[in-house]
Structure 1
Amino acid sequence: MTLTELDQLLLDWQRKLELASQNLLDLQNLPTYQRLAGEGGFTKAPLTGATAKAVEPALKAMDDLFQHFALLAQTIERALFLRRQINTIWGTDPRIDNIVQILTQKSVQLSVVSLPLSQRGLLSEAEQGYYVTPSSLLAAMQSAFDLARDQVLAVDHAWATLEAKLLDATSAIQELEAEGATLDAAKTTLSALQDRILSDPLGVQEEFETTVAPLIDQARQRLNEEKHRQQTLEAELALARQQLQNLQAMVHQATSLGAETAEKIQEPPEPLPEVNLTALEQWLSRLETKCAEGAIGPTQVGLRNWRRQVEQAMTTTQMTLAAHTQVLQHRQELRGRLEALQAKALARGVAEDITLVQAAAQAHQLLYSRPTDLKQAADWVSRYERWLNQGC
């Protein structure tokens, strides 16, 4: 390695030490770290549970970091000390190799281990040092720093957000209970969690996310589903109200038409069977009241039964309307048919034929009298047509 390359390597190590020192100090100066470690005038936080389990290794890692940083700094300083002794005017200096060895070989003694007698030879030392390279030590320090940083920041975030999060949860529970939800288990757990924020923020956060938050979410989802069912049922009841109004109009129309056919047609179709609109109206009103009281299930069952009754009544009413409309239309069709046949007879010059005149008179009398015998009227119209086609 040339002297220029060596100087660059030393410069790189100095920069790494500066960065490591700054980041270690920044982490150490965090108020959360000082509360956890009992430094900077803070009383050491009485940690328990998941937080103690996570933080104790992090604090141990920080202690090791400062010790290892000191060892690494001493090692780099030893290399710098040798570099300052090299005079380039004398050419190659064997101390360059010493410096390279310090920077790249196992030159940092981490610990001293006592060897049991069973592992010693005659000339073995009773103690053996454990050495690592500066690079491997720095890599281990990076891992330790990541562990300590992540755990300290996790506690920092938990302490910063938990109180507000638990207050929000308390408000949410109160709002949901006001809407009818039952959240006794969530309230009990939440109360216990509030007492543990200082000593076990990580445990509180985990328990909140896995226990309290799901209970609140489930209650909110159930209420939303109930609201949706309520809204859907209200819409169905509104449609049912419209359906009842349609039935009322149809019944009125069928009743009026039935009276008309009874007056105009002999042997009219069967009149509309009685439809108890009052009972259906009262039944629907009771269902609307139950829905407003929140009895969704019973109301849905009752509404299905009510619809069956209304649909049956509508089918019967529609059939009655069709039957009564048909006979009136048949009478009107016979009238039109007779007029068309008379016009045809007139065009042929046989309108005055006595047979046709008598047939037309009979048909006309039947079709324009009340009640009309449709069977006889149709028979006389058919006779008129047959005689006309036969040329009288």
Structure 2
Amino acid sequence: MNREEVDRALARLGAERDAVEAALLALQDHPGRRLLEGAALSGRTQERWAVAEQGLGLLWSLFDRYSEALASARAVRARRGRPGSAELAELSELLTGASVTVSGGQLPDAAGRLGAGPARLVERVGLDELMERMNGWYAVVLEVVNAVDAVWSALPARIDLLLAELGRVQMLALSVGVRPGSHPLADDLAGLASELTALRAEVLADPLALWRPSRVPAQRGTAPEAPAPASPTGAVDTTGFDRAGRQLDDVRVELEGLLRLRDESHERLQQVGDLLQRADATLAEARRARGEVLAKIASTEVPAVPGPASALRERIVQAVEFQQTGQWHRLGPLLDTLEDSAAKELARARHSLTEVAQPLAVRAELRGRLEAYKAMAARRGLAEDPVVVERFEKARWLLWSAPCDLRAAAEAVARFQQALRAPERHPGQQDIQDGQGE
């Protein structure tokens, strides 16, 4: 090497030495490294930190050898302003040759195996190779501490918050009578508590079990293809945490529904009672109408009126008992069923009334039509016509007699209508269509 090459090499190696020192000091103060040193580790994290911790100690040792070798080269260069051939030869050996002595077995081979090959007490390597191996170990250590720090920054605090929320939900469950062994929601909450506690313990002891790297982790002692990243390349696996959060949300929604039920149960039970009272009143009206139909309508088959829903009332008594004893998780589905059954009971009563009172409705409709045709006769000047009067009286007598023959009455009303339409009874007039089919 000539003098210019030596000076450039010294400047480059000095800059690299300063960069390594800054990186090692930053690594020494890394929060992930400080947490790892005092943690009780297990599993994958324990295995990888055992390697990385060994690499961290080795890094400082190699850095010291590197710094000593660089200092020696600088001392040789400082002897003379214009070094002679002897100094240049010595500097070439120091800067490019295997001039650094390290303890045997401290340097791994390319596959990451410590002490590969025949055992030796000491080993000599060059500065460039030494820098390459330091970069490899630095990548291993940095990847571990970055990943651990990412997991510990992401999960423990969130798990603690979720556990606190779980405690509040459990208190809510107790307030609505949901207790372990008596309701599946309480069992779900107990299972979530166990799951989150186990997840928190796993995060603290083996954070790398929840780390998903985006590339294959660096092997010990192998230099990365690119400079070591300052941030972790991967993602924290929050699948278990997210699933537990969703389950807790689902349970909370159900419990809030029970809480609303507790606040609304009295009003809802009253509404069920009101529906049944209306159904009873409607059935009573249907029975009265049935008696009237039997008394006033001839030759009519009248369906029987059903009795009150006694079984439904027994279930209402059970619902009141659940309400008084705070068994909201049992009251909820029962009350839903009662509301549906009470609505159906009212609909059944109304249908029965409509079916029973149908003959009376037909009679009322015929009476209305008869009165409308009577008014039409007066407008046409036929109120004194003997045929019209005779047919009107016949229809009126049939409709207002008891029992009423609906079939004969309908025929009489139709004959009365026909009398109003007869051409000879209102010559010169067009058939008047209004009122027809009424």
- Short-chain TM bin: 0.5 to 0.7
Give the 5 Å matches for 1:227-242: 227=255, 230=258, 242=271
* Mapped partners of 2:148, 2:258: distance in 1: 44
Q: Which has the higher helix share?
A: 1
CA drift at 1:332: 3.2
Give the 5 Å matches for 1:363-374: 363-368=395-400, 372-374=404-406
Residues 1:293 and 2:327 are matched in the alignment: yes
Task: Tell me the equivalent position of 1:40.
Answer: none
Task: Tell me the equivalent position of 2:252.
Answer: 224
Task: Tell me the equivalent position of 2:277.
Answer: 248
Residues 1:71 and 2:104 are matched in the alignment: no
Residues 1:138 and 2:167 are matched in the alignment: no
Kept in 1, the 8 Å contact 2:258–2:329? The answer is no
Kept in 2, the 8 Å contact 1:86–1:93? The answer is no
* Pair 255,373 (structure 1): closer, same or farther in 2 beyond 3 Å: farther
Kept in 2, the 8 Å contact 1:58–1:151? The answer is yes
Opposite residue 77 of structure 1, the aligned amino acid is A
* Mapped partners of 1:26, 1:186: distance in 2: 39
TM-score (norm 1): 0.65
Which of 188, 199, 202 is the equivalent residue of 2:205?
202
Residues 1:266 and 2:260 are matched in the alignment: no
* Pair 346,228 (structure 1): closer, same or farther in 2 beyond 3 Å: same
Give the 5 Å matches for 1:145-160: 145-149=138-142, 151=144
Bigger shift: residues 324-333 or 230-239 = 230-239
Kept in 2, the 8 Å contact 1:158–1:201? The answer is no
* Pair 261,376 (structure 1): closer, same or farther in 2 beyond 3 Å: farther
Give the 5 Å matches for 1:334-349: 334-349=366-381
Kept in 1, the 8 Å contact 2:6–2:92? The answer is yes
Bigger shift: residues 6-15 or 57-66 = 6-15
Kept in 1, the 8 Å contact 2:147–2:208? The answer is no
Residues 1:18 and 2:25 are matched in the alignment: no
Kept in 1, the 8 Å contact 2:46–2:206? The answer is no
* Mapped partners of 1:112, 1:357: distance in 2: 137
Deviations 1:101-147 (A, max 9, x none): 6445554344558xxxxxxxxxxxx9797544423322321332344
Bigger shift: residues 375-384 or 363-372 = 363-372
Opposite residue 13 of structure 2, the aligned amino acid is W
Bigger shift: residues 378-387 or 142-151 = 142-151
CA drift at 1:22: 3.8
Opposite residue 266 of structure 1, the aligned amino acid is I
CA drift at 1:273: 1.8
CA drift at 1:68: 0.8
* Mapped partners of 1:144, 1:362: distance in 2: 118
* Mapped partners of 1:35, 1:289: distance in 2: 57
Percent identity between the two aligned chains = 21
CA drift at 1:219: 7.8
Opposite residue 19 of structure 1, the aligned amino acid is A
Kept in 2, the 8 Å contact 1:173–1:187? The answer is no
Mind listing any 5+ residue stretches in structure 2 that lack a counterpart?
106-118, 174-178, 180-185, 211-236, 426-438
Which of 318, 324, 344 is the equivalent residue of 2:350?
318
Kept in 2, the 8 Å contact 1:58–1:147? The answer is yes
* Pair 135,386 (structure 1): closer, same or farther in 2 beyond 3 Å: same
Task: Tell me the equivalent position of 1:120.
Answer: none
Task: Tell me the equivalent position of 1:116.
Answer: none
Kept in 2, the 8 Å contact 1:106–1:133? The answer is yes
Matched positions, count: 361
* Mapped partners of 1:141, 1:79: distance in 2: 20
Task: Tell me the equivalent position of 1:60.
Answer: 54
* Mapped partners of 1:344, 1:85: distance in 2: 140
* Mapped partners of 2:416, 2:36: distance in 1: 116
Kept in 2, the 8 Å contact 1:287–1:303? The answer is no
* Mapped partners of 2:419, 2:29: distance in 1: 122
What is the root-mean-square deviation in Å for CA atoms of aligned residues? 5.3
CA drift at 1:32: 9.0
Name the SS for the 2:68 alignment partner.
Answer: helix
Task: Tell me the equivalent position of 1:377.
Answer: 409
* Mapped partners of 1:283, 1:79: distance in 2: 98
CA drift at 1:375: 3.0
CA drift at 1:293: 0.9
TM-score (norm 2): 0.60
Deviations 1:169-203 (A, max 9, x none): 87667656654346499679969x99xx9xx9534
Kept in 2, the 8 Å contact 1:290–1:299? The answer is no
CA drift at 1:360: 0.8
* Mapped partners of 2:365, 2:34: distance in 1: 104
